[in-house]
Amino acid sequence: MSAATSFFRSRWIEAPEHVTELDSHALPAGFRAGGVAAGIKPEGLDVGVLVSDTSDTVSAACFTTNARVGAPVIVSRQADLGSLRAVVANSGCSNVGDGKRGLGTALAMQAAAAEELAVEPAQVGVASTGVIGIELPREPVVNGVRAACAGLGDDAADFSAAILTSDRGPKRACLGVELGGGSVRLAAQAKGAGMIQPSFATMFCFVQTDAELEAETIELLTGVCVKRSFDRISVDGQLSTSDTVFALAGGASGVRVEPESSDELLLGQALDTVLRQLALEIVADGEGCRRIGRIVVEGRPDAVEQVARSIANSPLVKTALHGGDPNFGRILQAAGQAWPPGDPFVADLEIEGRQLVSAGDAVGLTAADLRELEELVAGDEVEYMLTIPGEGGETEVFFSDLSPEYARFNAEYTS
């Protein structure tokens, strides 16, 4: 595989022509990062710091919508989210459910990074992932923050490793993006898997660019691209207490991207493909996951989302995906469950481009058709296309399968 295509692995993501893939752990100009082993996890890097050295850096943030959130989300929400200069993150403990002590530790992490980096505490975003309901030990984590600040370097290798929990490996990319006004870099480091030791699927994504953006531009691009990526995936239908996205634009490239310009569109396309590919990697990294599915639903605008989610979260659809079974009955059952009561439900269904259901009834497949279909659903990515009554709505959800390994891992781990 050529370097140009090694990151954009999914057939559902097409790399834009104005994008060049760089070393995955590289950073845009004006950014430094580091990671250390602070003893929060039994072994390995577990505390990371990322900083933008440009004083007029602009930023944007997105958080979980779970009503139950961890202390780092509470602290970060009160930060200056449009002008963050740094991110401090740890794995091994999510700092959730520890009351005032946990809040105090998140504030101490923020304050330590601010002091070391000579920025305001409100300019530091905080994110933690890992075991919940236990204490995040304050002294080791604060010492780790200071050590990471002391060892900042020009790449994100240690930073991207320090945020991982049960991920199989780092999820990151750095792209060169050709804009009309010149070249910029766009980098992102993510984490997230089917479930996170020991509890649930926290995802992080930290984005940097050296393009010079207005604050509203980074907020707009981040908001739109997160909705098209991390909001469109489901591993097990479980919403974490700690999901966090921080995006920072420092401007060190000297290439300015004006609002509503063609360069804004080009940068947005690059960000969109990066976040969508990273989102797919989170789905594919689901515990025990063998293959991933994409469900596209077209029809009544107020129904497509709930129907797509019902399918993506159905354990019966997910086990069929795992088993390489083109089981259309489970798709229709999950769709019918989510269809608004009272209205007739009639659907067409295609799997991998082959029509299996027409106007609600099974299309008689020949044995040869069925064999061909069984080969198609044995690949790494399986696509389902459902047309429901009504017009004008369309959505997609990417989802992992459900394997015996998922159930075993989540049953056997005891917090």
Q: What is each CA distance from 136 to 92, 95, 140, 163, in whole angstroms?
A: 9, 6, 9, 15
Nearer to a second copy, 12 or 409 (CB): 409
**Could you tell me which stretch among 166-174, 197-205, 208-216, 220-228 binds a second copy (CB under 8 A)?**
197-205
Distance, C-alpha 402 to centroid of its chain: 19
Q: Which positions from 370 through 399 interact with a second copy, judged by CB under 8 A?
A: 374
Part in contact with a second copy (CB under 8 A); list of ranges 83-91, 157-165, 198-206, 270-278: 198-206
Q: Which of 1, 367, 368, 411 binds a second copy (CB under 8 A)?
A: 411
| Residue 268 or 389 with smaller CB distance to a second copy | 389
Taking CB under 8 A as the binding criterion, the range among 8-16, 182-190, 252-260, 357-365 that sits at the site for a second copy is: 357-365
Tell me which of 54, 105, 202, 319 is the catalytic residue: 202
CB nearer to a second copy: give 42 or 99: 99
Q: Over the range 281-303, which residues count as b (16 or more CB within 10 Å of their CB) and which as e? A: bbbbbbbbbbbbbbbbbbbbeeb
Query: Where in 255-294 is the site for a second copy (CB under 8 A)?
Result: none
Q: Environment class of residue 378 by beta-carbon count within 10 Å: exposed (0-12), middle (13-18) or buried (19+)?
A: middle
- The interaxial angle of helices 215-227 and 262-284, nearest 10 deg, is 40
Contact segment (CB under 8 A) with a second copy among 29-37, 38-46, 207-215, 238-246 equals 238-246
- Sequence-separated (6 or more) residues with CB below 8 Å from residue 204: 89, 127, 129, 163, 189, 190, 191, 192, 243, 244, 245
Closest approach of a second copy to the CB of residue 385, in Å: 17
Contact 274, 364 (CB under 8 A): no
Whichever of 119 and 307 has its CB closer to a second copy, that residue is 307
Calculate the dihedral angle through the C-alpha atoms of 111, 112, 114, 117, rounding to the nearest 10 degrees: 180
Shortest Cβ 47–a second copy spacing (Å): 22
Residues between 13 and 72 with contacts to a second copy, criterion CB under 8 A: 65-69
**In terms of CB distance, is 156 or 382 closer to a second copy?**
382
**From the list 343, 375, 380, 394, which residue makes contact with a second copy (rule: CB under 8 A)?**
343
Contact 50, 113 (CB under 8 A): no
Q: Which is nearer to a second copy, 240 or 273 (CB)?
A: 240
Is residue 45 a contact partner of residue 37, using CB atoms and an 8 Å limit?
yes
Q: Is 64 a catalytic residue?
A: no
- Residue 318 buriedness (CB in 10 A; 0-12 / 13-18 / 19+): buried
Name the phi and psi angles at 138, rounded to 5.
-70, -45
Q: Which is nearer to a second copy, 89 or 386 (CB)?
A: 386
Shortest Å distance, C-beta 399 to a second copy: 12
| Window of 37-45, 93-101, 178-186, 243-251 that interacts with a second copy by CB under 8 A | 93-101
Q: Cα–Cα distance between 24 and 278 in angstroms, integer?
A: 12
Q: How many helices (H) and strands (E) in the chain?
A: 11, 19
Q: How many residues belong to the site for a second copy (CB under 8 A)?
A: 69
List 333, 348, 369, 393, residue binding a second copy (CB under 8 A) = 333
Of 295-324, binders to a second copy (CB under 8 A) are 313-316, 319-320, 322-324
Nearest to 36 by CA among 48, 25, 27, 26: 48
Shortest Cβ 209–a second copy spacing (Å): 31
Q: Provide the minimum distance between the beta carbon of 319 and a second copy in the complex, in angstroms, as a whole number.
A: 3
CB nearer a second copy, residue 160 or residue 403: 403
Instruction: Map the footprint of a second copy across residues 96-155, applying CB under 8 A.
Output: 96-99, 132-134
Does residue 237 sit in helix, strand or coil?
Answer: coil
Residue environment code for 123-160, b if the CB has 16+ CB neighbours within 10 A, otherwise e? bbbbbbbbbbeeebebebbbbbbbbbbeebeebbbbbb
Q: Candidates 1-9, 25-33, 213-221, 331-339: pick the segment binding a second copy (CB under 8 A).
A: 331-339
Residues 268 and 226: beta-carbon distance below 8 Å: no
Q: How many CA atoms lie within 13 A of 280 on its CB side?
A: 21
Choose which of 59, 76, 105, 241 interacts with a second copy (CB under 8 A).
241
Binding site residues, a second copy, CB under 8 A: 65-69, 96-99, 132-134, 195, 198-200, 236-241, 313-316, 319-320, 322-325, 327-330, 332-337, 339-341, 343-345, 347, 357, 360-362, 374, 401-415
The catalytic residue positions are 202
